[in-house]
Amino acid sequence: MQKHVHEITPRMTNPAYVLPDAGAAIQSLVKATRQGGVPESILELVHLRASQINGCGFCVDYGVKSARKAGMSDEKLFAVAAWREAPYFTEEERAALALSEHATRLADTSDAVPDPVWDAAADHFDEKQLASIVLMVGLTNLFNRINVTVRQPAGVGF
């Protein structure tokens, strides 16, 4: 059986490398997301779900590897796209995943992040933690848009 590999050729060097100040600023923001007291595994779930929605192969690949390093089981990783139907997620994780989805799909509805979604997240996370999650979702969407636009290949160092 022959294995077919679709090779992605980047359109350009990643902008975070072309403009070094951008890369440094992004890394500072990544570091800031870790200062809110949110478990690493939840930040990785938020990142992975937004990346799945946006179709960013690089970020999905990176996100799965990072989530495994944070101790997430394969069972949970395989179910992220179907988290509503899967029994593996805590209520806290579900609230973060819902917030991630709504904050990523801003154009899908006029009330992009409805009060019930926000309130569910606020029931589980304090303001500092919410700041970390919201910042992580925003950064992930930035990563996704950069990597999809320049066709950053999955599995290639960044």
37 vs 150: CA distance, rounded Å: 33
pLDDT attached to residue 155: 82
pLDDT in tens, 29-82: 999 999 999 999 999 999 999 999 999 999 999 999 999 999 999 999 999 999
Domain spans, the chain: 40-150
Rg of the chain over Cα atoms, rounded to whole angstroms, equals 16
Structure tokens that stand for 129 in this block: 């933690």
Tell me the whole-structure pTM to 2 decimals: 0.92
66 vs 88: CA distance, rounded Å: 18
> Which CATH superfamily does the domain covering 40-150 fall into?
AhpD-like (1.20.1290.10)
Q: How many other C-beta atoms can be found within 10 angstroms of the C-beta atom of residue 71?
A: 11
123 vs 114: CA distance, rounded Å: 14
pLDDT exceeds 70 at position 157? no
Average predicted confidence (pLDDT) for the chain: 94
Q: How many other C-beta atoms can be found within 10 angstroms of the C-beta atom of residue 72?
A: 21
pLDDT in tens, 74-107: 999 999 999 999 999 999 999 999 999 999 999 9
129 vs 141: CA distance, rounded Å: 18
Q: Considering Cα of 26, then 27, then 30, then 34, what sign does the dihedral take?
A: negative
* Greatest C-alpha distance within the chain: 53
Reported as a pLDDT band with limits 50, 70 and 90, residue 3 is low
pLDDT attached to residue 156: 72
At position 24, the amino acid (one-letter code) is: A
Please name the residues in contact with 69: beta carbons below 8 A apart, sequence gap of 6 or more: none
